[in-house]
Amino acid sequence: MEQTVQQRMALWLASSSIDEETKDSIRSLSESEEAITDAFYKDLEFGTGGLRGIMGAGSNRINKYTIGKATQGLSNYLKKCYPQEEISVAIAHDSRNNSATFAKVTAGVFAANGIKVYLFDELRPTPELSFAIRELNCQGGIVITASHNPKEYNGYKAYWNDGAQLIPPHDKNVIDEVNLIADFGDINFSGNEHLIVPIGKQIDEKYLSVVEQLIVNSDVIHRQKDLKIVFSSIHGTGITMVPQILARIGFTNVSVVEAQAEPNGNFPTVVYPNPEEKEAMSLAMAQAESLDADLVMATDPDTDRVGMGVKNHKGEFQLLNGNQTGVLILHYLLDQWKASGKLTDRNYIVKTIVTTELIDTIAASYGVDCFNTLTGFKWIADIIRKLEGSREFIAGGEESYGYMIGESVRDKDAVASCAIIAELVAFSKDQQKSLFDNLIAIYQKYGYYREALISITKPGKSGAEEIQDIMKRLRAAPPASFAGANVTESIDYQSSEKKELSTGNITPINLPKSNVLQFVTADGSKISARPSGTEPKIKFYKSVKGTQASAEDFDVATERLENQLAEIKSNLQEFTS
């Protein structure tokens, strides 16, 4: 066993501040060196989504002590940043096991450090927490969630005063403060409980009112108010807000998947509570088919991601991927803003570097700037922060089923996304078209961009090392071609360099450093490699593009691009196997 693992474990067992129940859990791991190593080989760190990990005892686990330590470090940092001010934070939690308990632990530590806490009285969506921070003029906030991860996980998303997740230097500075805490006895777990103020209905009403104002075509909704919508919250927080907002904007025929309506951290009806997964959407899709619905939507446990399905050109229900949904949302908003005369040269949209470039193409056709950021909505929020007052943000999105509409919430917002998705489906129906017809028309007009994701799970310490090795090999001996097309450009966001292979010319990248590689081929394909910041995974994003001469050519064009994607997957096997 590695010495650092032994040392971390020994500190936990020797600490008088650790309760005996936790120590017994650590001792029970002693039969498995691998289990001990995974629990103690590192301290949890802020990734693209804050702290996230498996619940249990250990420095690399989510528990009251790692959460307490993170909160003490954040408290210390907030007091340094606001030395003469009354500091306040907002806290929310999702439906996961222990989320309510961890939220109370977090509130207790903040209060014990003299920080006022606005604590939601019940589970609430992550985007509402982001809204509450701004609405209540807080200096920060926390939501206890592991988003779409399996039931064994929980997490801790930290937010700054603008309602966005922490970015440098704040995230690194908080970690520095956390690392200065030498003993768990330095954590103030209790005291000043009078500083904890419950919040709920009043913030709900303000949040829903803001989302309601994002609707751009209420007349269409009025004409199509009986649109058949099926919604599932997949045992998460979506049940608290999504049916309400759909009713408020005028939809009267919303059918909830009752088997998944009750919040439950065991997620009993799914393997993986992620609307990106077909299996997680299966109950909702079956209900949509039985009702002959127009639209099916499902949100993840903390309601920042949404998956959707509609009937395709053959009349069959089909799930759309995150890129397709993002294209439809952003195209609709740009089109409606232009039709209403609201679109100006001050407007802009934002997407991430691994999201479809079809969005860039569409934005350019409307004369609207499309900024590209690193993965994570904290980077989209950073652009909004920098341009606030001088430019007007319309919307942003990423391929992993997250979208942000308007500036009031500074994180991905599935509540607002569900409202806009329902509106754009109603708009298509009002034109006597299907949403899928409109998607095909977009491909015909702007080019058929098609994407696919390879996600490889590598758990534990050995898995982390394997992921690092894959990235090292890609850098040391990058592929020369994909699907028969030569690589013409390589982009390394860790070294901040873009290299043209034919000339050797190197262009600097003006983005924060990140462990991401991209390869662009002569035929316009783009392949990206990125270790996840929130899960033990490495992800490969494949994007190809072609032409579609007519709506009737859609199936032929799809098969052609799918074959190309399959060949790229085969090319990647030497790095992933």
Question: Which residues are known catalytic residues?
Answer: 147
Q: Write out 219-263 in H/E/C secondary structure.
A: HHHHHCCCCCEEEECCCCHHHHCHHHHHHHCCCCCEEECHHHCCC
Is 547 in a helix, a strand, or coil? coil
Q: What are the tokens at 84?
A: 């003469």
Contacts of 37 (CB under 8 A, 6+ apart): 1, 2, 5, 460, 461
Other beta carbons within 10 Å of 163: 26
**441 C-beta neighbours (distance < 10 Å), count:** 15
Collapse the DSSP code of 301 into the 3-class scheme (helix H, G, I; strand E, B; otherwise coil) and give the result: coil
Quick count: other Cβ atoms within 10 Å of Cβ 176?
13
Beta bridge partners of 92: 143
Instruction: Report whether 293 contacts 255 (CB < 8 A).
Output: yes
Please give the angle made by the CA atoms of 397, 444 and 401, to the nearest 5 degrees. 20
Indicate the burial class of 474 (C-beta count within 10 angstroms; 0-12, 13-18, 19 or more).
buried
The CA distance from 110 to 87, in Å, is 10
Q: How many CA atoms lie within 13 A of 95 on its CB side?
A: 28
H or E element, residue 92: strand 88-93
Query: What is the Cα–Cα distance from 384 to 278, expressed in whole angstroms?
Result: 33
> Residue 501: exposed, middle, or buried by beta-carbon count in 10 A (0-12, 13-18, 19+)?
middle
Map residue 489 onto helix, strand or coil.
strand
Which of 242, 13, 274, 250 lies closest to 125 in space, CA to CA? 242
